[in-house]
Structure 1
Amino acid sequence: MQTIQDVMTRDVQTISPQETVQRAAQLMDELNVGAIPVTDGDKLVGMITDRDITVRSVAVGQDPGTTKVTDVMSTDVRTCTTDQSVQDVLDQMADVQVRRIPVLDDSGQIVGIVSLGDVATKHSADVDRTLDEISSPSEPDRSATQH
């Protein structure tokens, strides 16, 4: 059985919830990624994605230079552990329609991230089915910015 530690990306860059949305976007550009885990010290507190920035910040007219990551990040983050099976994590991704999941160690520290792309290049079984489920339309998520 292949586990997440076999396919995950290690040495993941994180960002503080107090950084600006602009800094998050710059970091995504520098790293060529679409999501960055948000940590407060060593604790995972959320994820910010390029979609969060676009839909929850830019689309509602917020200033990316002053808007904080904490104001637009997703806080209900699904995580996995290094010893979980790849299939189990693919099922989680499909259930919650996400393409990336942070990987935590036994003490809750972030040790990596696993993306659908990681799995596709290192473990091709069932990736097509998961992608179909992730790509199904869902309701827009604008709750973080609506008052």
Structure 2
Amino acid sequence: MTTAKDIMSAGAQWIPAHETLDRAAQMMRDHEVGALPVSANGEQDKMVGIITDRDIVVSCVASGHDPSKVTAGELCEGTPRWIDATADVEAVLDEMQSHRIRRLPVIENKRLIGMISEADLALHLSDEQVAGWAERVYSRA
């Protein structure tokens, strides 16, 4: 059985909720990622959300806010979604599809160990699985 751990990209990085969005953008650039899980201040095992490069651009910069003054904690909203490392691929796809999300943190023993992105799905799943996922995540319905 293929698991979340089998298809994830390892080494996901946290950003503390108190860090600014310009720092988040720098971390995304340095680690070549498009999303960062946001941790409760000082608690790297408590996820309070996730921010993406698109969130920074659309919700901060395009809205006229200064990314050096807005924090990651202020930008992330909603219930953070994640998947256990031992979950099978169908559970991964279901979680991503049902919440229409493109990136999913992977947790093992209450610790962040990786992230699953569209690229990971494309590398590890069949064309049919990826097409089905994309149809459900990107559809306007």
TM-score (norm 2): 0.89
CA contact (8 A) 1:46 1:75 kept: yes
2:67 maps to amino acid: P
Shift of 1:97: 0.9
Counterpart of 1:87 in structure 2 is 90
Helix, strand or coil at the partner of 2:61: helix
Match of 2:117 in 1: 115
2:14 corresponds to 1:14: yes
- Unpaired runs of at least 5, structure 2: none
Residue from 72, 76, 83 that aligns with 2:75 = 72
Q: In the alignment, what sits opposite 1:27? A: 27
Deviations 1:37-71 (A, max 9, x none): 11122211110111211222112211111111111
Query: C-alpha separation between the residues in 2 aligned to 1:18 and 1:136?
Result: 34
Equivalent pairs counted in the alignment come to: 137
Provide structure 1 residue ranges, at least 5 long, that are not aligned to the other structure: 139-147
RMSD: 1.5
Counterpart CA distance in 2 for 1:111 and 1:119 is 17
Is residue 52–residue 74 contact of structure 1 (8 Å, CA) maintained in 2?
no
| Aligned sequence identity (%) | 36
- 2:140 is aligned, of 137, 140, 144, to 137
Higher strand share: 2
Q: Is the 8 A contact 1:90 1:127 kept in 2?
A: no
Q: Whole-Å Cα distance in 1 between the matches of residues 10 and 78 of structure 2?
A: 22
**Is residue 102 from structure 1 mapped to residue 110 from structure 2 by the alignment?**
no
Q: How many angstroms apart in 1 are the aligned matches of 2:59 and 2:87?
A: 32
What residue identity is the alignment partner of 2:11? D
